[in-house]
Structure 1
Amino acid sequence: MKIFTDAHGNKVEFSPVWNAFGDANHVLALCRFENSWVLTDHTRRGLEFPGGKREKGETVEEAVNREIYEETGGITGALLFLGQYKVYSPRGAFIKSIYFAELDDIVRKEDYLETNGPVLMDQLPENLKDDERFSFIMKDQIVPLSLNVLTILKKEHRADS
């Protein structure tokens, strides 16, 4: 488990273990499509991976698929669980599950809700913290920790093949 402080001064705990903190009420999806990272351009926060709140009656996986589609038009293929984190905010703690999604397609939509739609990037900048185009969500340790888990899982998969 990793513990750090986010951009808002909140304590954050990260774990690659399934349901380490219980049922997640938020989701985050690191997405790829045709060798590019798929982000969304949030109208207030800037570039970030798709994600959001889980709706009543929805599974975590359904929430991931819905958020990806709503914010990017992405049609999800397989999902891979990367981890979970808990943020201890003064407004109350919340838990977010993180997935990797390889998209099968991206469809053009009329409305991407609170975002301006998908943004494809061949690679992420080396130092997201200093890049003002990116949301605060991208600037703490969650993305690097999640990418590290993804690298480990891909290596394990190749070793098993």
Structure 2
Amino acid sequence: MYRFTDYYHNKVTLSFDDHPFSRNPKHVWVICTYKNKWLLTRHKERGLEFPGGKVEENESAREAAIREVKEETGGSIEKIRYLGQYTVAGKGGTIIKNVYFAEIKDLAVQKTYYETEGPIELSHIPKNVKRNKQYSFIMKDDVLKHCMAYIRKKR
């Protein structure tokens, strides 16, 4: 289990155990690859980030992850696996989020990408992402660092 603070100094707890905080989290985040590149999206307000969002009513977290990737990037998932779960204890309450790793089989051009500007393919995630203004706050805490290390170890 990892404990640290996020970009806004909220307390974050990350675990790679099987759903340690909730069986039914309300948020998802999906680290994606497409043709050996990282697949992100450009959120209209926050900047570059991996796709993710809220779990809708009558939807599992896994289903939400698949839907969010499609909505925000046009990506169809070939493989998806649960990585871990984290909590963010903020001023407005605690958020619990599942993290997934997905391999994308193809990208479809869409009329809308909802609150994003569509897919962004990167050969690498820069080491200075924490200080890079192009990237969303979601990319700037140690969740990304620990998840990337976990993915490298499990590949």
> By the TM > 0.5 criterion, same fold?
yes
Per-residue Cα deviation, 1:53-109 (whole angstroms, up to 9, x for no partner):
000110111000000000000001111111110010111101000000000100000
Runs of 4+ in 1 over 2 A off after TM superposition: none
1:20 is matched with 20
The TM-score normalised by the length of structure 2 is: 0.97
1:149 Cα shift?
Answer: 1.2
Unaligned 5+ runs, structure 2: none
Q: CA RMSD in A?
A: 0.7
Gaps of 5+ in 1: 155-161
**1:102-132, Cα deviation, whole Å (9 max, x unpaired):** 0010000000000000000011101211111
Mapped to 2, the partners of 1:41 and 1:7 lie a distance apart of: 18
Alignment of 1:1-161 (within 5 A): 1-22=1-22, 23-154=24-155
Aligned residue type for 2:10: N
Paired amino acid for 1:51: G
* Matched pairs, number: 154
SS at match of 2:29: strand
Q: Which amino acid aligns with 1:18?
A: D
Give 1:136 deviation, angstroms.
0.5
Give the deviation of 1:48 after TM superposition: 0.2
Hey, which of these two has a bigger chunk of helix by percent? 1
| TM-score, length of structure 1 as denominator length | 0.94
Task: Compute the displacement of 1:18 (Å).
Answer: 1.4
Percent identity over the alignment?
42
Q: What SS does structure 2 have at the residue aligned with 1:78?
A: strand
